[in-house]
Chain A
Amino acid sequence: MRPALAFATMLAACGNAPTAAPAPIHFLHTFAPAETELVNKAIADRGLAVEASLVPFARGQQVIREILRAHHACPDLIRIDATWLPGLVADDLLAPLPPALATLDWSPEAAQLATYRDQLWGAPQTVDGLVVVRDAGTPSPASPAIADLVAAAKAQTAAFAHPLGLRVDAYWLVPWLRAEGAELAPDRIAGGGAARGLADFAALFGQLAAAPPPLGSEAPDELRRWTEHELAYWVTGPWQLGNLAGRDAIAVSALAHAPRGGQLLVVPRCAERPDDGWRLAAELTSIDVELIFSDAFAAVPTRRAALAHATPLALAIGAALANAEMLPRSPITPLLFDDLNPALAAVVAGDATADEAIDGVRRGWARLSGSAP
């Protein structure tokens, strides 16, 4: 090639080169601090231009709904709790998962998380739920049944100050409600079963389970009790096990009727660049990122290929959650906790009986479901 021609070609190539950096992908998320660091690193490693914004989990559903309804500063990708999905879909705020992502090798539990009204609405990012954690040297409960868990804990009262690790939180109450035939749904809270479940659960505190710590300090309090060997059987989720020392020495078993949930990556209909949003979702659910999360936080991967290489702890959690039951897929499910949590706290504190509390919950849920008079 003659020099002049080469120079002209080079100039032409320079002229065709993009001069502006790509616009960043707007990502709204609810990650915890440690997870955020990992996500930021994964994004940086992939050279993606992402403008991330945190939404505190406690107000996530409300804030996200306000943002999506306002159509202002609409994000391209959002990380949501799976229980928020029905409400957002019902309000027609989300775009369905594109076929390219829908046909990935999602595990059945992960696919179930993202499915609503027979449609996949997001890329499952992680699966979680309640399991029973114990030291590998502590005997396993005879079965996943609550009665066997309680019996096993009673057998450990001599060795452990408070052998059963529970939290005064309606999410932990769900297995006890379900064991009595009740459910986290306005139409399944009637009858005596819910009150019995609530009473049985509340009765454990102060005896087998430690008295509740101040509001907001539950997670560190549990972690401290586990570290100091006060707990024999700890009912918790993978979110508490990532930072646990000696993770290889713990055993995980299932809890009957335990709730199963997870996190989803969804793209709102108002997204300016939905394709970029789904591209980021694909990156964050890629095999290597899932394995990084699995290793760091004991997160249960959502892709079968990642599950094949997950840590033993993550695999054990995944196995224990295989028979867990998702919370009812209703738009009002997350709001039900607003009533159930104060009712549970009132019973544990002795301010109300289980029957009184369940009556109040029933009235509140009826109002939420629109069936109140």
Chain B
Amino acid sequence: MTGPTLRWRVLVVLSLAAVLPTVVVGSLAISRARHDVEDEVKRGALAHIRALGQALDGTLQDARRTVELAAGQWADAPGDNRGTQLLLRRLRRDVPIVQSLSIVDPNGALLFGDPVPGVDVGSHSFGGYIGDAMFSGPRPTVHLVVQARGRTGELMGVVVASLDLGFVREILMSARLGPGARLLVVDGSGVPVATSDLLPTSPTSLAGKDPAVDRALASTVEGTLSANGTVSAYRNLSSYQSLRGVRWAILHQQPEAEAYALARTTTRDTLVIGAVALALALALGAFFATRLTRPLAALAHRADAIAAGQIVDAPPVRGPGEIGTLAHSVDEMAKRIAERAELSAALARGDRLASVGVMSAQVAHEINNPLTTVLGYAKLLLEDKPDGHPDRAALELIAEEAERMKKIIGGLLEYARAPRPSEPMLGSAAGTAMPAMVVRHVGELVAPQLRRARARLVTDVTATAPIAIEAHALQQVLVNLVQNAAQAGCTAITVTAAPAPGGVATIIKVADDGPGIAAADRTRVFDPFYTTKAPGTGTGLGLAVCKHLVATAGGSIDVGDNPNGRGAEFRVVIPNAA
């Protein structure tokens, strides 16, 4: 359960780490793109209607200035009828948008030109102006009223020009517009003067119906408005200096769906890219979560096994960084636990063996006396029986077996005996031994046995320092090791004694060319009653006694392969005497 849970948690964390930034950054990008596009659309629309407004203004002002010049010219000579007629003809010809022309006196009475119904053109007209659009004909018109003042500034009359507003629509129609967009010019009452689309211009006011028109008429300059799914940019034409008095407004309107199509496309692309990025991030997250948690799961498995006391022989867990360190630590911990378990088992075994030893020593002691009696009587009976006597073979067998039993009992007693100081021997001080002397003496002791076994003993002693072990004990150890080698059928036995590196101990090695000791047996050959010899040929106590003696002296003994060829090598390390 730990593995999947951990993996899912890591996956969730990685997913959140991928989802949150993607969502946040994506939202910001979409919002920013939308905002930028909206700004650009509005800026573009405003720039468009500014240019168109200037074009309208230019046309109207050209007409106004021309009429003003003409009015001034007429006012300087108002009585020149012929000149006035000529002037009016020229005005109609030179100003194409002029539909009709009139000149009235300051009281509003018609002097020249066409009748001007319904326009306040008298002295109360409050100066010249461009009025609101009129829709009496097929095309909207507007009245341009210009006061005709003489040289002294005195009002001589008023020139009224009816301007054909068809040019407004022509200007609007000539504009290049985006999809669904339209241009609209309304007069001060909100009545459309012209539109860029093909809808017929009607005198119906849009005031109160189109929020953009209301806003345009209320504004003094320009602005934008989004309402009813339409984005509108407007400019009040009164903001043009030369159009003072004109209450018109120009609007650019476009459905939001069309105006912000780019934003929608950008949003869609951003969403797709974001979704792909998110999917990739999640896939990578799942991959890395699995990869990250796999060694952790293995470690958890291993920890569970260790906790259950199982021996873990699986290969070590590998992982990057902290996971690798953790795996290493778990392995170390497992190794330590195994060592401790082994140590505990060894201790338990040692206690058991010690008890057995004590009991064996007591048994051996009790058996030794009756066995001596058995052996003595067997030998006495043998002396009474002549050669060839039918009982002699059985008595000899009793004596041999009794002798062998005594050897075993002797060994047991030796193993169980507490260390005891012995008399100095071989020129050594009490509690110490000179390796060279001990080795030479051992050679003399085992020489007959080696001859029988046709084995050769080579000694090489370079160590000169006395070592901290009883000479008898060292002698017993070496004799045991050499005899074991001889009994194993070895033909070449080497005993060397050399100072250990650092000079604090002496290493004595006993090597042979025998069959050697299997790796599995090397840790057990020093256990009591463990033997690799044929049944009845060994007691299993020799090496145990050797280890006991060496350990008692503070040294160590182990066995390995002979580095110089086949066979085994026993390595005894004894501290040098102080």
Contact = CB atoms under 8 A, between A and B. Distances in A.
Interface of A: 31-33, 36, 40, 51-56, 58-59, 61-63, 66, 73, 216-217, 334-335, 338-339, 341-346, 351-352, 356-357, 359-361, 363-364, 367-368
A216 B153 contact: no
B456 to A, nearest CB: 115
B127 A54 contact: no
Interface residues of B, number: 37
B217 A364 contact: no
A61 B125 CA distance: 10
Contacts of B491: none
A368 B126 CA distance: 11
Given A338-B126, A342-B155, A343-B153, 13 more contacts: A36-B220, A52-B218, A53-B214, A58-B245, A59-B247, A73-B189, A73-B207, A216-B242, A338-B123, A343-B154, A345-B153, A363-B154, A364-B123
B155 A364 contact: yes
Residue among A52, A53, A73, A341 with max Cβ neighbours from chain B (10 Å): A53
Contacts of B362: none
Contacts of B207: 53, 73
Contacts of B129: 58-59, 62
**A-B pairs with lowest CB-CB distance, top 9:** A360-B154, A342-B153, A343-B153, A52-B218, A352-B152, A33-B220, A346-B153, A56-B238, A59-B245
A54 B214 contact: no
Interface string B235-252: 010110110111100000
Contacts of B126: 59, 61-62, 334-335, 338
Given A36-B219, A56-B245, A62-B126, A364 B106 contact: yes
18 contacts: A33-B220, A51-B208, A51-B218, A52-B218, A53-B188, A53-B214, A54-B219, A56-B245, A59-B129, A216-B241, A335-B124, A338-B123, A342-B155, A346-B151, A346-B153, A357-B152, A361-B154, A367-B123
Contact of A54 (B155, B205, B238): B238
Nearest to A50: B218
A138 B242 CA distance: 36
Interface of B: prevailing SS: loop
B107 A342 contact: no
B149 interface: yes
Contacts of A54: 217-220, 236, 238, 247
Contact of A357 (B123, B153, B155, B189): B153
Contact of B149 (A59, A73, A217, A342): A342
A31 B120 CA distance: 25
Given A33-B239, A54-B218, A56-B245, A62 B153 contact: no
Nearest to A35: B220
Contacts of B107: 367
B123 A216 contact: no
Interface in B86-145: 106-107, 120, 123-127, 129
A338 B244 contact: no
B205 to A, nearest CB: 8
B244 A58 contact: yes
Contacts of B149: 342
B271 to A, nearest CB: 35
A342 B151 CA distance: 9
A101 to B, nearest CB: 24
B127 A338 contact: yes
Nearest to A36: B220
A72 B239 CA distance: 25
A62 B217 contact: no
B84 interface: no
B221 interface: yes
Contacts of A63: 188, 247
Q: Which of A32, A62, A357 has most B Cβ within 10 Å? A: A62
Interface in B180-195: 188-189
